[in-house]
Amino acid sequence: MGRRSRQRRSTSAVGAEWGAPDAQYVDGDGNVLVLRGSLTPGARREYGAALHGGLHREDAGQRATELLFERLAARWTIAGEPIERQRELLARYRVASQTERGFVRDSLRAHAQEHFPELELP
């Protein structure tokens, strides 16, 4: 099958096909973070390498958290404005306040414990 005749599926369609629905996490201000229910084996390896890489412990934990956010975040609605593009999601995470980062980190930990119990959390 050639490249042109191959139909591409969205990532949400792939996740739904695997039986891994998205999960929503809401903070005290009503902001909503939607995380994907699936994580590819390659992303899991990359996460493990980031967590146990040659970086200082704090830097490794921050990079691993950012990597999980990058791979799992599907949408983040802040003050009623949804952010859905990966580049914009990551940029918004990088300028997030300490409170917002804490919410994201806690949401990622809860999500990983439920959906990916084999992952070591930062």
The answer to whether position 25 is within a domain reads yes
The answer to whether position 15 is within a domain reads no
Tokens of 92: 């918004």
The answer to whether position 47 is within a domain reads yes
User: pLDDT digits over 98-111, tens only?
Assistant: 999 999 999 999 99
Q: What is the CA radius of gyration of the chain?
A: 15
Tokens of 29: 């201000």
- DSSP 3-state of 23: strand
Q: Residue 38: give the domain boundaries.
A: 20-115
The answer to whether position 38 is within a domain reads yes
* Chain centroid to CA 118: 16
| Total count of domains within the chain | 1
How many whole angstroms separate alpha carbon 92 and alpha carbon 114?
Answer: 25
Q: What is the CATH number of the domain that holds 79?
A: 3.30.2220
User: pLDDT digits over 31-70, tens only?
Assistant: 999 999 999 999 988 888 888 876 576 678 888 899 999 9
Q: Which residues of 89-116 are buried (b: 16+ CB within 10 A; e: fewer)?
A: beebbeebeeebbebbbebbeebbeebb
Whole-number pLDDT of residue 19: 58
Tokens of 67: 């990597």
Whole-number pLDDT of residue 60: 81
* Angle ∠(55,100,96) on CA atoms, nearest 5: 65
The answer to whether position 8 is within a domain reads no
